[in-house]
């Protein structure tokens, strides 16, 4: 039986796909470690979304801060997905 994903999990998954596109485009370039760190952080967000704990991001007030504001500013195509995840998280029940 297929598990139904929550809107929060779906938004986190779409964010991962958007980051993967940027990561793939930058692979092998100088400074390519930064997108890899963002990729790992996005997977952490998905795990938090699955656990229903996205409201408690460690050391951050927002998804943007958790991923890295500077990296996101340099990758505007990812920002709509961050916004979608933040919007989905705002409707998440508080733990």
- The ranges assigned to domains in the chain are 7-90
What's the pLDDT at 59? 60
Within a 10 A sphere around the Cβ of 24, how many other Cβ atoms?
11
Q: What letter would DSSP give residue 92? A: S
Is residue 9 within a helix (H) or strand (E), and if so which, with residue range?
helix 7-26
Q: Which residue has the higher pLDDT, 55 or 76?
A: 76
* Mean pLDDT of all residues in 58-80: 86
pTM equals 0.81
Please answer whether residues 35 and 22 qualify as being in contact, where contact means their C-beta atoms are separated by less than 8 angstroms: yes
Q: What letter would DSSP give residue 91? A: T
What is the percent of the chain with per-residue pLDDT over 90, rounded to a whole number? 25
What's the pLDDT at 76? 94
Mean pLDDT of the chain: 82
What is the longest distance spanned by two Cα atoms in the chain? 44
Please answer whether residues 26 and 32 qualify as being in contact, where contact means their C-beta atoms are separated by less than 8 angstroms: yes
pLDDT above 70 for 69: yes
Q: Which residue has the higher pLDDT, 30 or 32?
A: 30
């Amino acid at each position: 039986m297929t598990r139904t994903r929550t809107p929060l999990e779906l938004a986190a998954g779409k964010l991962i796909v958007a980051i993967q596109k940027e990561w793939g485009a930058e692979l092998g370039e100088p400074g390519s470690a930064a997108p890899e760190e963002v990729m790992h952080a996005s997977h952490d967000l998905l795990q938090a979304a699955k656990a229903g704990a996205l409201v408690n991001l460690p050391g951050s007030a927002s998804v943007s801060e958790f991923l890295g504001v500077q990296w996101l500013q340099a990758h505007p195509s990812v920002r709509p997905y961050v916004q979608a995840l933040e919007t989905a998280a705002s409707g998440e029940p508080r733990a």
